[in-house]
Amino acid sequence: MARHFHISWYRYLLSPLAWLYGSVVVLRGWLYDKGILRSTLVDLPTIGVGNLSVGGTGKSPMAIYLLQFLRTAKHPALLSRGYRRKTVGYREVELDSLPSEVGDEPLMAKRACPSELVAVCERRVDGCQKIAALHPEVDVVVLDDAYQHRALRLGFSLLLTTYVRPHCHDALLPVGRRRDTLLQAKRANAVVVTGCPATLSEAERTVLSGELGQSGQPVLFTTLQVSGIEPFLPVKLGEDGDSSAQDWAEVQGVFAFAGIANPAPFFAQVEERKRLLGTLVMGDHRLPTARQMAYLERMAREGRTLITTEKDAARLSGCLPSGSWLAKRLWVMRVELGFLGADGECLKSLINGYLESVR
């Protein structure tokens, strides 16, 4: 399938800004490559997940997948900067942490892997050093959204890009959504294409591998699979033993809302399962506004069933009273990473090889 992102005529007016931006990122990369800007290699093995473009590429599901894989033989930790949190410095994420304290994605990761250490720190070197000092049992750190954070020299890095908009077909900001040059893709140990259709042909995989694996890296292909649909509130039993929750199987239609970078796949997954009554899109990492919240609450009070993403549920957990109609009528779609073919085993082999090399 050919992909061509046509740039509207008015975007040509932004080309000088893209050229200027590109010059700055090229200079920054050169300064790090030459050692003029310092890049620190910490004592702990590090596995970084990141991208070249702004917006969602599935970094959080990948980070959670890595935690779940690594914990079978290691003692991993996850370190994130905690985007949009109101705190600063190093902070460890607990199950009852507020999104405003740690960020929505780290909180989602902690709830997915409650026994693993999840921490936030805007300075990744400091964060890794804190983990090593406070948790000597940790023997590998996964870093979310760390590809551009070159102050830390990653031991192993995964570069993510979406199937619908691979970075090799995108343009630099502000004309496109790419925030770094394609030359920086060579630093990755592997490229991962996210959000692929399960029916992706071998021919298209070959084409994309040739375009994305410019430095000979393996190119892996993943899908997002629905792992469950659960009520926002824990199911409570009355004295007669009857559940207070709705039965998802009896739900006919739902209203879906999301505050993620690319909500289209979520809405499509909802529509595959239930009649979609309508949608509401907030900004990425955003809670509903007061007006939007009142609208959602009114629909719930009128008997509508609503559904949102796991990331949005993490944000809402810090501000939505359990007694509200929305909390009672809200469902959460949970997703997990899936690999096409043998790509999952290939990734595990690459990571195990790296960890063996740093023992």
Kind of pairing between the strands at 219-231 and 330-339: antiparallel
Where is average pLDDT lowest: 100-104, 161-165, 213-217, 223-227? 213-217
How far apart are alpha carbons 261 and 85 in whole angstroms?
A: 17
In this structure, are residues 189 and 175 in contact, taking their beta carbons and an 8 Å threshold? Answer: no
In this structure, are residues 51 and 161 in contact, taking their beta carbons and an 8 Å threshold? Answer: yes
Domain membership of residue 9 (yes or no) is no
Where is average pLDDT lowest: 55-69, 95-109, 223-237, 276-290? 223-237
Which of the two residues, 349 and 319, has the higher pLDDT score?
A: 349
Domain identity same for 58 and 26: yes
Domain CATH for 211 = 3.40.50.300
How far apart are alpha carbons 166 and 178 in whole angstroms?
A: 10
120, containing H or E segment: strand 117-120
How far apart are alpha carbons 224 and 221 in whole angstroms?
A: 11
Per residue in 290-320, pLDDT tens? 999 999 999 999 999 999 999 999 999 878 8
Domain identity same for 218 and 267: no
Output 274-279 pairs: Cβ under 8 A, ≥24 positions apart. 274/307, 277/253, 277/304, 279/255
**Domain region containing 322:** 228-334
Which of the two residues, 74 and 4, has the higher pLDDT score?
A: 74
Per residue in 218-253, pLDDT tens? 999 999 999 999 999 875 433 443 444 578 999 999
Domain identity same for 218 and 288: no
Where is average pLDDT lowest: 6-15, 50-59, 112-121? 6-15
pLDDT for 102: 96
How far apart are alpha carbons 53 and 181 in whole angstroms?
A: 10
How far apart are alpha carbons 49 and 28 in whole angstroms?
A: 20
- 1 confidence band (pLDDT: 50, 70, 90): very low
Domain identity same for 167 and 247: no
Tell me the mean pLDDT in the region 106-128.
97
Per residue in 11-21, pLDDT tens? 778 888 999 99
Per residue in 157-166, pLDDT tens? 999 999 999 9
Domain identity same for 232 and 284: yes
Largest CA distance in the chain: 71
Domain membership of residue 3 (yes or no) is no
Domain membership of residue 8 (yes or no) is no
Tell me the mean pLDDT in the region 263-271.
94
144 pLDDT exceeds 80? yes
> Residue 83 CA to chain centroid, in angstroms?
11
pLDDT for 244: 44
Domain membership of residue 20 (yes or no) is yes
- 284 confidence band (pLDDT: 50, 70, 90): confident
Place of tokens 């909180």: 107
pLDDT for 317: 86
Cis? peptide before 76, omega within 30° of 0 = no
Average pLDDT value over all residues in the chain: 91
Angle between helices 59-70 and 343-357 (to 10 degrees): 60
Domain membership of residue 21 (yes or no) is yes
Domain membership of residue 154 (yes or no) is yes
Which of the two residues, 213 and 89, has the higher pLDDT score?
A: 89
> Residue 88 CA to chain centroid, in angstroms?
21
Domain identity same for 237 and 211: no
* CA nearest neighbour of 50 among 150, 165, 209, 160: 160
Tell me the mean pLDDT in the region 318-329.
89
User: How many domains does the chain contain in total?
Assistant: 2
Please tell me the total number of residues recorded for the chain in this structure: 359
Domain identity same for 23 and 144: yes
* CA nearest neighbour of 151 among 304, 38, 33: 38
Domain membership of residue 342 (yes or no) is yes
pTM value is 0.89
Tell me the mean pLDDT in the region 95-111.
93
Structure tokens at 310: 């796991």
Domain identity same for 53 and 89: yes
pLDDT for 215: 79
pLDDT for 245: 55
Domain identity same for 221 and 277: no
Domain identity same for 23 and 126: yes
175, containing H or E segment: none
Domain identity same for 139 and 251: no
- Backbone φ and ψ for 302, nearest 5 degrees, come out as -80, 0
Domain identity same for 344 and 236: no
Domain membership of residue 2 (yes or no) is no
Which of the two residues, 25 and 215, has the higher pLDDT score?
A: 25
